[in-house]
Structure 1
């Protein structure tokens, strides 16, 4: 597909299956990298799903070959407009979107990198394809997380492994992600959406008032740990952005992409 052809495609897809809404990031030519428009589209689709009485569970996934490669480095290096969306008054501090009252399952079909990893962590739980890969490359790019990574990643995989991921920028494959608790299940690639829908249907079959109250209880129980950490991350990210120079990202772009591809290929050969 040419860039001209890609520009005609919708950047996000939405499908309803019974009580399940499947939302798919659809910039495959750019590995579903996050532009300002795509961030706004995701927030809008999730808000619509939360308000829609037909929807009990949301599945978030990406069009192959990636789940989400993080912020689009072309836009980040040119204007930094997508980075400005990280701290947005329309969503609470430390969240990529306004939290839903309904469960969000992340179906990770490929690479989930940096901002894409933060998208995954903001889901209630993750199911991964065998092709899933995870990496935090904030330190490589020269930006800081602002969607809760420094709180949610250590809470999910432990303090040491989280710091290792963030400070090295190295990739973690699907099986390693399962071992450290980042994902709940790894399935063959062609069964990913089926597996995610099966779990979603199990949730849909329960009392929905109970499901949503239980989900809220989980979140409130975590607030005393999560909220202070989110505030610290937000303050740090805002301070960093005061001196942020998009041209530095433009200079690093080729090296960052090349190193990421080399490491990703290395994990696939294991």
Structure 2
């Protein structure tokens, strides 16, 4: 029997692939359990800084395995519906997770996608919230997160109709970072992961936490949190550390000369 989840680590990147293509990567109990364990291992692994999550076949993930749920006991069904371990584990992960949305991301699979930090979609990606159609209330944050990302009216349209959202519209609505051809999806995600790995990893993790924590606060509270976090980091900053990071910025700038505006040095950065 093939494993329901494939996990591979290469050069600081952990690749996590949902591997139930015949059922469109539906989240069985076994797959949910393995996903939690995979992200926990990734978070604790000092040699891996970024994870890329995708699905095998033509789907990213279509949510909970409804066939398995229909054959479960009442207690098992309630536990499966109310369980938030997979998404909670991803949200509590200190390191960035890139979602490579290769196809259908439906209901619980939609929530799984939104638990990622960066979303790159294939032109074949399709998103849908079918909770209202299957009679299950969301429990992994979709009712709150989606409206904050694309606006309350668009979120209601998706969630109250169960209709599909194509990749280009998802991009226009700000749901995904970019849309690329299927053949370029994983390579695009890997380039982004390598860009992240080239940064100060302590700062990357603290910055991710700052953004995530501040997202749930008011603007004033978020600014206060940023100020306090900045002061903490400033107290630990040394001239040697500044010189080290300055050199890294210079080297990256030189390596990107001639690669076009999207890959060039940011305006105002010190390039020596």
TM-score band, normalised by shorter chain: 0.7 to 0.9
> Residues 1-270 of structure 1: matches in 2 within 5 Å?
8-79=1-72, 81=76, 84-88=79-83, 91=85, 95=88, 97=90, 99-224=92-217
Instruction: Determine if contact 1:34/1:82 at 8 Å carries over to the other structure.
Output: no
2:223 alignment partner in structure 1: none
Displacement of 1:86 after TM fit?
4.5
The whole-number CA distance in structure 1 between the counterparts of 2:174 and 2:67 is: 32
- Stretches (4+) displaced over 6 A: none
Q: Over aligned residues, Cα RMSD in angstroms?
A: 1.7
The whole-number CA distance in structure 1 between the counterparts of 2:78 and 2:22 is: 20
Please give the per-residue CA displacement for 1:236-269, whole angstroms capped at 9, x wherever unaligned.
xxxxxxxxxxxxxxxxxxxxxxxxxxxxxxxxxx
TM-aligned CA distance change 1:11 to 1:82, over 3 Å: farther
Q: Which has the higher contact order (CA 8 A, sep 6+)?
A: 1
- TM-score, scaled to structure 1: 0.76
Instruction: Determine if contact 1:135/1:172 at 8 Å carries over to the other structure.
Output: yes
The whole-number CA distance in structure 2 between the counterparts of 1:149 and 1:117 is: 8
Please give the per-residue CA displacement for 1:71-104, whole angstroms capped at 9, x wherever unaligned.
1110122216365235348x49x73646200001
- Runs of 5+ unmatched residues, structure 1: 1-7, 226-270
SS of residue paired to 1:126:
strand
- Runs of 5+ unmatched residues, structure 2: 219-272
- TM-score, scaled to structure 2: 0.76
Please give the per-residue CA displacement for 1:152-172, whole angstroms capped at 9, x wherever unaligned.
111111111111000000000
Instruction: Determine if contact 1:36/1:82 at 8 Å carries over to the other structure.
Output: no
SS of residue paired to 2:138:
coil
Aligned length: 216
SS of residue paired to 2:140:
coil
Please say which structure displays the higher CA radius of gyration: 2
Q: Which moved more, 1:35-44 or 1:94-103?
A: 94-103
